[in-house]
Amino acid sequence: MPIRFSAGVWAFDGCGDRFMLKGYRDGKPVADRIKEAAGIPGLSGVELNYPGDVTDGNLDEVEEALKENGLQASIIGVDHTGQRKWQYGSLAAPDDGIRREAVDLARRAMDIAARLGAGQINIWLGQDGFDYCFQVDYPKAWGWLVESLGEIAGYRGDVRVCVEYKPKEPRTHSYINSAAKALLLVQEVGRDNIGVTIDVGHSLNAGENVAEALCLLASHGKMFHFHFNDNYRSWDDDLLVGSVHLMEYIELVYWLQKVGYDGWYSLDVFPYREDPVKVCRESIATLQGIIGLVNRMGVSKLDDLIAKGDVINTLAFIRQHILTG
């Protein structure tokens, strides 16, 4: 199956930070961002957040913009972070009414995903966590997550639910902060249509080897979606793919082929100051280049080298292909 590249439409917006809330360039209507994304070579899909990029009021407009520009909706992200009401959590909020709203929002996102042909939603639980010791009841919070996600996944089996993990931010501690904990959570939910999103930057923040995290999830059939970006491990910088962790990316692409991942290769980049089209274009070119490198080296050859257990010989083989052609 051909590799499908996607990008979050937020990359083409103002991209504000906490010091420049409105961003370093003017924001754009979502239809303009979709059109801009369509001009990137190799890009065939876009991610949209609900509510935000796509809303109940502009759904027809978004659907038409996708059609006009020949793009697919790759996934619909559920915004459980960007409103004040989520400040103490969403799916694990102590308030029953807030949890109800969070579940209903995700279910509405599933309907939108089905209509736009995405077939999956992404849930990042950014506000579900804690900042202080003695702040939350951990077992209750876990139970609420399992219960809420079970209700969401059970709403319609034709739409997949992808749970994205991250160690922190905006809370200092997120409940779902690693691949292993995300896997445990979706296994406890126990439905076939719920799995995990790996965001490369979040995995790096968590101190993981991204390829190992991929293998863990894939071995349990729960590797559903992928966000590609890069950072320096200390913060979720959402930089251009491969700009920092090139060797890790080479290993990741090797294992993506090994486990047979056939989902979207989706860019979650935040080009605050750089041209978003250039950042996305170069990120795709980098991924394509790494895929080509792995193919030239040969998956079976790398298999043999790893099996022999001499990592210096393995790295020398890779170095010869990277640095001396």
CATH of the domain at 34: 3.20.20.150
Per-residue pLDDT reduced to its tens digit, 279-308: 999 999 999 999 999 999 999 999 999 999
Signed CA dihedral, 263, 264, 270, 273: sign only: positive
Question: Residue 150 pLDDT more than 80?
Answer: yes
What was the pLDDT predicted at 57?
98
Considering the chain, what is the average pLDDT of its residues? 98
Domain count, the chain: 1
CB atoms closer than 10 angstroms to residue 109: 29
Structural domain contains residue 307: no
CB atoms closer than 10 angstroms to residue 67: 11
Domain of 13 in residue numbering reads as: 5-294
Strand 5-8 to strand 120-124: parallel, antiparallel, or no bridges (unpaired)?
unpaired
Question: Residue 312 pLDDT more than 60?
Answer: yes
Query: Letter for the amino acid at 277?
Result: V
What was the pLDDT predicted at 325?
53
Structural domain contains residue 314: no
User: In the predicted model, what is the mean pLDDT of residues 143-155?
Assistant: 99
What was the pLDDT predicted at 60?
98
Q: What tokens does 195 get?
A: 């799995």
Query: 5: closest CA among 259, 290, 283?
Result: 283
Contact 124, 167 (CB under 8 A): no
Distance CA 253, CA 251 (A): 6
Structural domain contains residue 140: yes
Distance CA 245, CA 243 (A): 6
User: In the predicted model, what is the mean pLDDT of residues 102-129?
Assistant: 99
Burial class (CB in 10 A: 0-12, 13-18, 19+), 9: buried
Per-residue pLDDT reduced to its tens digit, 237-285: 999 999 999 999 999 999 999 999 999 999 999 999 999 999 999 999 9
Distance CA 103, CA 196 (A): 18
Structural domain contains residue 55: yes
Distance CA 226, CA 220 (A): 16
Structural domain contains residue 213: yes
Structural domain contains residue 306: no
> In sequence order, what E strands does the chain have?
5-8, 43-50, 72-78, 120-124, 129-130, 160-164, 173-174, 194-199, 223-228, 265-267
Per-residue pLDDT reduced to its tens digit, 69-97: 999 999 999 999 999 999 999 999 999 99
Q: What tokens does 14 get?
A: 């103002």
Per-residue pLDDT reduced to its tens digit, 11-58: 999 999 889 999 999 999 999 999 999 999 999 999 999 999 999 999
189: confidence class by pLDDT, cuts 50, 70, 90: very high
What was the pLDDT predicted at 18?
86
What was the pLDDT predicted at 147?
99
Please give the full DSSP string across 69-132, using - where no structure is assigned: HT-EEEEEEE-SSSSGGGTT-STT-SSHHHHHHHHHHHHHHHHHHHHHT--EEEEE-TTSEESS
Contact 110, 153 (CB under 8 A): no
What was the pLDDT predicted at 41?
98
Alpha carbons within 13 A on the beta-carbon side of 16: 8
Structural domain contains residue 299: no
Structural domain contains residue 204: yes
Token look-up 């079976």 returns 300
Query: Letter for the amino acid at 284?
Result: I
| Backbone dihedral angles phi then psi of residue 230, each to the nearest 5 degrees | -155, 165
CB atoms closer than 10 angstroms to residue 64: 13
Angle ∠(275,66,77) on CA atoms, nearest 5: 75
